[in-house]
Amino acid sequence: MAEGTPNDGGMFGASRPAPARRPARGGGFGMWAILLGGVAGTAVAVGVFLLLHSPKIGTADMGDAADCLGQGDLDCAEADYRAVLIKHPDDQSANSLMAIALSRDGKDKEAIPYFQHAIALGVSTYDFDETYAGSLRKLGDLDGAIREDYAALAIRPSLKDVRAKLADELVARGRSQEALTLLQSYDKDLTDNYRAPVFTAQIAKIQAGLGATPANAARPLGG
């Protein structure tokens, strides 16, 4: 994840000591588990997705799942979040963290329904939005990635990695001037506070693509 502290607008709190883990159980589960949830719309779709695609069901414990995620054991985290979602299909944290775990695991297409359902449930944190943008970008949805990167920056403007990726996405979509403004405004805030700019090379590259002369490239647009 890009810069940030666990409790600075993000989803992750301090990690607990890892408890003794029992292996996640293999296999699927019965349709009754979804029907008992009594949910409709997107939640049912998530339940059906779990029914058809779950290789493992773990323990329905958010703490255990968080421990697995914090330790980088993505299979374990996914199995536990699946178990939670069987019982609580509309749990905000379980949907959002399941999406993040799947994205980290390279299962971007599988993560999308969880991202979408979490958003429908009102989830919006910088690390969630940033991770969703990454999955959309890898799946070729640049417009969606741009939207989510902007959402992450709206929550935490200091995310340099997100800003750099967003600028690249904007250039790829033919929005180079918008990308320049995004980077130049950040660097101007730094220099106004007697700090070194960080996007000089990326700005110069974008300006070169626009046909800027060396003299113009050295001067921020609008300066």
Residue 60, pLDDT score? 74
Task: Mention every residue, 6+ apart, whose C-beta is less than 8 A from residue 140.
Answer: none
Q: Taking the CB of residue 201, how many other CB atoms lie within 10 A of it?
A: 9
Residue 18 lies in a domain: no
For the chain, the domain total comes to 2
Region of 211 on the Ramachandran plot (φ > 0 left; ψ -120 to 50 alpha; else beta): left
pTM above 0.75, yes or no: no
CATH number at residue 115: 1.25.40.10
pLDDT of residue 3 exceeding 60, the answer is: no
Contact in structure between 102 and 110 (CB atoms under 8 Å): yes
Contact in structure between 134 and 145 (CB atoms under 8 Å): yes
CA dist list (Å): 221 to 65, 204, 212, 217: 48, 11, 10, 8
Average pLDDT score over residue span 127-135: 97
Same domain as 105, residue 53: yes
DSSP strand pairing (56-57 vs 25-26)? antiparallel
Same domain as 135, residue 100: yes
Q: Which of 166, 196, 195 is nearest to 181 (CA)?
A: 166
Q: What is the pLDDT of residues 74-115, one digit of tens each?
A: 988 998 899 899 999 999 999 999 999 999 999 999 999 999
Q: What confidence category does residue 213 fall into, taking pLDDT thresholds of 50, 70 and 90?
A: low
Same domain as 179, residue 142: no
Residue 11, pLDDT score? 61
Residue 20 lies in a domain: no
Q: What confidence category does residue 62 fall into, taking pLDDT thresholds of 50, 70 and 90?
A: confident
Same domain as 108, residue 44: yes
